Structure 1
Amino acid sequence: MRQWFCADMANDSTTFCFVIVAFSGLREDFYSVFGALMFCIYSISVCVNIMVIGIVLLKDNLHQPMYIIIANLALSDLLFDTMTLPHIISKYWFGSEAISFSACFLQMAFVHILNCLDSLTLLIMAFDRYVAICRPLRYHAIVSNRVCMFLCLAAWFASASTGTYVMTWGLFLPYCGPNRVKSFYCSVSSVAINSCMDSSTVRRNALYAGLIMHMGPFSAIVVSYIVIILNICSMSHLENWQKALNTCITHWFVLIIFYIPRIVDYGYKTQVNPNADVAALMICIYSYVPHVCSPIIFCLRNKEIKRTLGNMGKKMLRF
């Protein structure tokens, strides 16, 4: 039986804490291997997302709305992974499963804020593509760098407000018993189930909030791309048709890896007795795979970013 309290060596006291379970069925023989896998994922995520942010900030030719949006998404993914993965790696390498009450709810706030931010950033990206393809002559008048920065800041504000509010649903519940968080990180639904009182309403509201935060933007994105596809099909010149389609394919890849696993997870959670390890695997897939794949996809599919990276590589080889 896990202890409900963590020792505070500085004050010679104990405080309530939670235990991050992740995969409860994973044998201890595989802990080091799984920890190494998580370390690789985190290392790749840090490298590729910092690279994307860096080249967008440093290269004047990338100071354009689309690249500002990509950098905003990379920053969100980098922060999310930094707030969650080091603890998982520590758990499987060093047995550090416990997370303090305050650290858990701080992590929870960031998890909900950054998840919401990712959805809103993808929505802004879809809006940018809609204007670029359906209103090309007015693109620079509608989507300037200033407008793009305003939309990104508005997304941060909306996400911070929403994520913090959702976090408070779990913060004010009483905790005095079980403390096992059957997930990779603290979230309202995974933590609230440990409350001393009935938390079914809070967990149901958290599910609804997740559906609104993700399925709301997703629905708007789908509608925008339907309009874009209809506009592309009406183009008379094959060259223009192919060029417009190519600008959308990259975003479709990112949308698929971000939303499809979440939709599957929402459907799986409606089962009466979902398997905890299967649920944890789904959380792992939709939380971390997009953060590694998205910047790589943008770098491989975007000609301007590829050209910038190629020029930087040639300059480095000269020295």
Structure 2
Amino acid sequence: MATLNQSEVLEFTLTGFPGLPEQFYSLVSISFFLIYNISLYANLIVVVLLLLRRHLHQPMYVIIGNLSVSDLIFDTLTLPKIIAKYWSGDGSLSYTACFIQMFFVHFLGTLDSYIVMVMAIDRYIAICKPLRYHSIMSNRLVAIICLVFWIFAAAIGLSVITSGLMLPFRGTNRVKNCFCSFNPVAVLSYVDSASSRSTRFVVAVLSHLCPLSFIVYSYIIIIQKICSSGRTENWRKAFYTCTTHWLVIGLYFIPRLAVHTYNQLQLTPNADLDVFLICLYTFVPHFTSPIIFCLRTKEIKTTFGKVFKCNISNYKY
């Protein structure tokens, strides 16, 4: 059976953590299962609330809604397979399924960077230019910006799998990762993939460093603005908010850029540490971001409380 690149590999096998002793398989599968469920329900709650409650149809929540949809798709396409690998030993993916997963991994990974950037810019305008906020930001403008980034990120994903499909594979098919992404799959090719991986490195760094630069700049200006206000209460609240935001942003960007950099420098870190860092920047932000960016805000908590009480009342009667 021939593939597009006449590959003899018909399927790939996810190794997850290559050096993990078998007695820890159940613990890892339960951990991934809990992560998936927390992410699933947290992001679903955000999406459902934003769809059903008109007073939440605001630019900030439109941005958060896009982030939640992206994270829902990503986790649903990746986590069930790695859970099955550790739960029942089924870690195999067909050649086609692996590259479809690769497309969404790079597509949605890039998208998240730009959506978080839009969120930071929105907060910058809201805090630093409050009187002009509604004249600058609107639901329509935010929806258009997010749509542009969905299309742009999809183009990045297509460019990645196009590079991957041009590589021939024969024999070795064990992907040292929890999902199919470009570098762990490309190194399995029996031809030199250094050039393709270098190109991918440049694209990845630009795709993540550009949004990160805007995010850093936005938060620096926000902190300066609040410091200049001279109000201790505002400073404390802003410091707490920025700290929690930066926790999520740091988890997303710092390990990601570190992994891309040492892969490009051809350093050989511990394989299990490599997979751990990838899981850290991939899955942890997906269940922490809806909680920190949305569910902990007063407006969302009040709305969720009303919906919950209403459902309880209807159930009683």
Same fold (TM over 0.5): yes
Are residue 274 (structure 1) and residue 269 (structure 2) matched? yes
| Aligned twin of 1:54 | 48
| Aligned twin of 1:318 | 313
Q: Secondary structure at the match of 1:23?
A: coil
TM-score where L is the length of structure 1: 0.90
Are residue 289 (structure 1) and residue 284 (structure 2) matched? yes
Question: Residues 35 and 314 from structure 1, CA distance in 2 versus in 1: closer, same or farther, beyond 3 angstroms?
Answer: same
Could you tell me how far 1:39 is from its partner in structure 2? Answer: 1.3
| Aligned twin of 1:234 | 228
Are residue 140 (structure 1) and residue 134 (structure 2) matched? yes
Question: C-alpha distance in 2, partners of 1:145/1:242?
Answer: 30
Question: C-alpha distance in 2, partners of 1:198/1:295?
Answer: 41
Could you tell me how far 1:317 is from its partner in structure 2? Answer: 2.8
Cα distance per residue 1:144-166 (max 9 Å; x no partner): 01011011111101101111112
Cα distance per residue 1:125-144 (max 9 Å; x no partner): 01101111121111101100
- In structure 2, list runs of 5 or more residues that go unmatched: 2-7
| Aligned twin of 1:200 | 194
- What letter corresponds to residue 172 of structure 1 in structure 2? M
With 164-173 and 229-238 compared, the bigger mean Cα shift is at: 229-238
| Aligned twin of 2:166 | 172
- What letter corresponds to residue 31 of structure 1 in structure 2? Y
Matched length: 307
Question: C-alpha distance in 2, partners of 1:278/1:81?
Answer: 21
Question: C-alpha distance in 1, partners of 2:257/2:199?
Answer: 17
- Describe how 1:86-125 pairs up with structure 2 within 5 A: 86-125=80-119
- Describe how 1:203-214 pairs up with structure 2 within 5 A: 203-214=197-208
With 286-295 and 221-230 compared, the bigger mean Cα shift is at: 221-230
With 83-92 and 232-241 compared, the bigger mean Cα shift is at: 232-241
Contact 1:15 1:100 in 2 (8 A): no
Question: Residues 246 and 37 from structure 1, CA distance in 2 versus in 1: closer, same or farther, beyond 3 angstroms?
Answer: closer
Cα distance per residue 1:236-274 (max 9 Å; x no partner): 555555565566455333312222332443455446221
Could you tell me how far 1:313 is from its partner in structure 2? Answer: 2.1
| Aligned twin of 1:301 | 296
Contact 1:113 1:162 in 2 (8 A): yes
- What letter corresponds to residue 282 of structure 2 in structure 1? S
With 172-181 and 228-237 compared, the bigger mean Cα shift is at: 228-237
Could you tell me how far 1:92 is from its partner in structure 2? Answer: 1.2
Contact 2:128 2:222 in 1 (8 A): yes
With 63-72 and 255-264 compared, the bigger mean Cα shift is at: 255-264
Contact 1:109 1:167 in 2 (8 A): yes
Cα distance per residue 1:273-302 (max 9 Å; x no partner): 211111011111111111111112234531
Q: Secondary structure at the match of 1:234?
A: helix
With 293-302 and 184-193 compared, the bigger mean Cα shift is at: 293-302
Contact 1:232 1:245 in 2 (8 A): no
Could you tell me how far 1:24 is from its partner in structure 2? Answer: 1.2
State, as a whole percentage, how many aligned pairs show the same letter.
49
Are residue 84 (structure 1) and residue 72 (structure 2) matched? no
Question: C-alpha distance in 1, partners of 2:235/2:138?
Answer: 24
- In structure 1, list runs of 5 or more residues that go unmatched: 1-6, 8-13
Of 18, 21, 31, the match for 1:37: 31
Q: Secondary structure at the match of 2:33?
A: helix
With 293-302 and 64-73 compared, the bigger mean Cα shift is at: 293-302
Question: Residues 229 and 180 from structure 1, CA distance in 2 versus in 1: closer, same or farther, beyond 3 angstroms?
Answer: same
- What letter corresponds to residue 275 of structure 1 in structure 2? N
Question: C-alpha distance in 2, partners of 1:301/1:249?
Answer: 14
Question: C-alpha distance in 2, partners of 1:146/1:246?
Answer: 30
Contact 2:251 2:285 in 1 (8 A): yes
